């Protein structure tokens, strides 16, 4: 399998590149022509430097040249769009250009590759579980209705999903919309490319006003280590290619779903693992969904907040709402088990807790050393 991949320098894209290499999956990365302030691509991904093509998701057909499209049509099986503006406090214009136009342009790229090759080509778009906005309860893997509680970021992802459903026609490439959970670092190494708002909340542990964390009683923290999310995404792509043609986009939740821990459970496990790692303890404060959403959306009206703090406050809604992401369609596409990270693993990754040390018996010069 060979993928044309955007967003390779992001948290999920980096993990997909690593996981694909382990599985022998080929990748052709789409890289922007200008990357000011970032490490040169050749240094960041030396193994993929020769395979890259130049493009920009904001441009029609991602700005790919005719020559690139001809060459890609010969070997690419799936177009995977992981590029996204994930700044929860970003401008609506930038969010729309990358998240909505980028999604629609990606479908056009898949159409063109399928037309030139005469082979079936899959288009995969990485959305977010947070398109659910303020909805609580069980969230189905299907198109969602309008919701007044969506932030600008969530709205852009929702509009992208709606655009793909609207633009999809008979004979088009199959479309897989993967709503991805919030991502933590690698489950094996803890390495993370960026520290999202969940990390920011952990870092501001001692600064939370009143030592209170507003959350619904059954609020869940639906997060995945980035390598687990990447593996599930690649398995879903494989499952879509293995199945028959689809008449409409397929929505899946690449998330912990029903296995997601509650915020209270996660905090208690973290404290049990390393009680000395925390100063004053934070107490979850029972709140309604409306209260959690209001605080996350309006705190900046009353407090001067930096962008990092704004993202952290918005992040309250992602750990304060009681809802479960259904994963039935994801299960149909995967051959193996669904992602199910343990609460202990998530607590260690989120709070940078030390890994458990295996106890070592002291040296014994007595006869016991001969016992088996």
Q: Note the pTM of the prediction, 2 decimals.
A: 0.90
Retrieve residue 15's tokens. 């993990």
Instruction: Find out whether 335 and 149 touch, Cβ atoms under 8 Å.
Output: no
Rounded distance between C-alpha atoms, residue 340 and residue 337, angstroms: 8
Per-residue pLDDT of the chain (372 residues; tens, 9 = 90+): 999 999 999 999 999 999 999 999 999 999 998 766 677 888 888 899 899 999 999 999 999 999 999 999 999 999 999 998 887 666 788 999 999 999 999 999 999 999 999 999 999 999 999 999 999 999 999 999 999 999 889 999 999 999 999 999 999 999 999 999 999 999 998 888 777 767 766 777 677 767 788 899 999 999 999 999 999 999 999 999 999 899 999 999 999 999 999 999 999 999 899 888 777 778 888 999 999 999 888 877 776 777 777 777 778 888 999 999 999 999 999 988 999 999 999 999 988 887 776 666 666 666 555 555
- Within the chain, strands assigned E span 2-6, 26-31, 53-54, 78-81, 122-128, 137-139, 175-180, 182-184, 212-215, 223-225, 250-254, 283-286, 323-325
* pLDDT at position 310: 74
DSSP string, 306-363: -HHHHHHHHTTHHHH--EEE--HHHHHH-SSPPP---HHHHHHHHHTPPPPPPP-PPP
What's the Cα-to-Cα distance from 230 to each of 12, 40, 45, 187, rounded to whole Å? Answer: 6, 23, 17, 12
Which neighbouring-strand residues pair with 213? 284
Instruction: Find out whether 114 and 40 touch, Cβ atoms under 8 Å.
Output: no
Residue showing tokens 């509009």: 159
What are the domain boundaries of the chain? 2-184+223-257+324-341
Rounded distance between C-alpha atoms, residue 194 and residue 202, angstroms: 14
* pLDDT at position 21: 92
In terms of CATH architecture, what is 2-184+223-257+324-341? 3-Layer(aba) Sandwich (3.40)
């Amino acid at each position: 399998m060979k993928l044309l991949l955007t967003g390779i320098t992001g948290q999920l894209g980096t993990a997909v590149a690593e996981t694909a290499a382990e599985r022998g999956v080929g990748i052709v990365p789409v890289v922007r022509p200008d990357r000011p302030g970032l490490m040169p691509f050749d240094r960041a991904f030396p193994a993929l430097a020769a395979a890259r093509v130049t493009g920009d998701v904001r441009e029609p057909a991602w700005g790919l040249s005719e020559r690139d499209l001809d060459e890609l049509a010969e070997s690419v099986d799936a177009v995977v769009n992981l590029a996204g503006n994930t700044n929860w406090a970003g401008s609506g214009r930038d969010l729309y250009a990358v998240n909505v136009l980028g999604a629609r342009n990606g479908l056009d790229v898949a159409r063109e590759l399928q037309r030139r090759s005469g082979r079936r080509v899959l288009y995969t778009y990485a959305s977010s579980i947070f398109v659910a906005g303020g909805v609580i309860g069980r969230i189905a893997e299907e198109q969602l209705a309008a919701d007044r509680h969506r932030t600008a970021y969530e709205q852009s992802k929702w509009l992208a999903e709606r655009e793909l459903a609207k633009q999809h026609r008979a004979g088009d490439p199959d479309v897989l919309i993967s709503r991805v959970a919030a991502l933590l670092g690698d489950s094996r190494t803890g390495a993370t490319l960026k520290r999202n708002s969940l990390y920011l909340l952990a870092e501001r542990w001692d600064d939370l006003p009143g030592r209170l964390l507003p959350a619904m009683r059954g609020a869940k923290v639906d997060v995945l280590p980035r390598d687990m999310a990447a593996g599930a995404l690649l398995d879903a792509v494989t499952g879509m290619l293995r199945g028959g043609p689809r008449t409409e986009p397929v929505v899946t939740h690449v998330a912990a779903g029903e296995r997601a821990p509650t915020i209270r459970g996660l905090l208690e496990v973290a404290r049990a693992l390393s009680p000395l790692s925390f100063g004053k303890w934070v107490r979850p404060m029972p709140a309604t969904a409306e209260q959690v959403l209001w605080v996350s959306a309006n705190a900046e009206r009353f407090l001067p907040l930096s962008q990092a703090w704004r993202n952290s406050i918005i992040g309250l809604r992602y750990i304060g709402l009681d809802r479960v992401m259904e994963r039935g369609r994801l299960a149909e596409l995967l051959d193996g088990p669904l992602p199910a990270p343990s609460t202990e693993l998530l607590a260690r990754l989120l709070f940078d807790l030390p890994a458990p040390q295996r106890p070592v018996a002291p040296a014994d010069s007595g006869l016991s050393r001969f016992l088996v």
